[in-house]
Amino acid sequence: MANATRLQGKACVVTGGSAGIGLAIVRRLIDEGAQVLFCGQNDESGAEAERGLDSADAHFMRADVGEEADVAALIAAAVERFGKLDILVNNAAKAAVDLIPDLSTEDWRRSTAVNLDSVFFTSRAAIPHMRANGGGSIVNIASISGLAGDGAYPSYCAQKGAVINLTRAMAVYHARENIRINALCPGFIETPATDAFKAVPGLLEDWFASIPAQRPGRPEEMAAIVAFLASDDASYVHGTIMVADGGVTASTGQPTQVPLG
């Protein structure tokens, strides 16, 4: 349940906030009292998301987070609008099947720009403003694919793994400035982006059966974790890699043992 005042007066930027996990994060932050500037690459879907949020505290801006100039403009716009920046959520991501022998250099660089470079660009632009404020919070949305390998998604795994260790490295240094930097690693979360899996008969049923919780996660569950990490309730949490995957990475992968007799 949202705490209507926990983030009161906080100024936030959320990347990839027009749909799915990102939109749920924007909604949760607003529900907890924050002001949010969120971005996406599509003006139409961003404007639709802003209308759906129906809040004077939610503002959309088109930005390609893989482009340095767009990110600089995004952070500058947030500071101009709100007068400060307290919270940054790096949610934008690009995932696709891209087997290494068939992957073009252009596609590798594009996915790296969205999944990894963006975290560098936003953090570099945001940290000086947080430092001037006397602190802040950055939450990077990584993935359990950054903790182990998914054979059909090698670039995504590599980039999310890099986000995880970038999170740790930044957290170690900037903790002394009261800037908390943490990451969330979701497992399978049911979003519009995962609807494509429904085209393969039986795939989702088998997938969910492999999750100890026996179901996919919901965007709202991820948003609740982000709100905690962004808030002062997590004031002593620095460099944590929080996993929310229904128990997937807790398993050895062996069949569940059933008592005999």
Q: Which positions ≥6 away from 159 have C-beta within 8 Å?
A: 111, 112, 115, 116, 146
- Using the CB atoms, write b or e for 70-93: b if 16+ within 10 Å: bbebbbebbbeebebbbbbbbbbb
Q: Are 153 and 95 in contact (CB under 8 A)?
A: yes
Q: The tokens 């590798």 sit on which residue? A: 108
156 in catalytic set: yes
Q: Exposed/middle/buried for 47, CB within 10 Å: 0-12, 13-18, 19+?
A: middle
Q: The tokens 């009261």 sit on which residue? A: 178
Q: Are 130 and 86 in contact (CB under 8 A)?
A: yes
Pick the catalytic residue: 153, 156, 173, 236? 156
Catalytic residues: 156
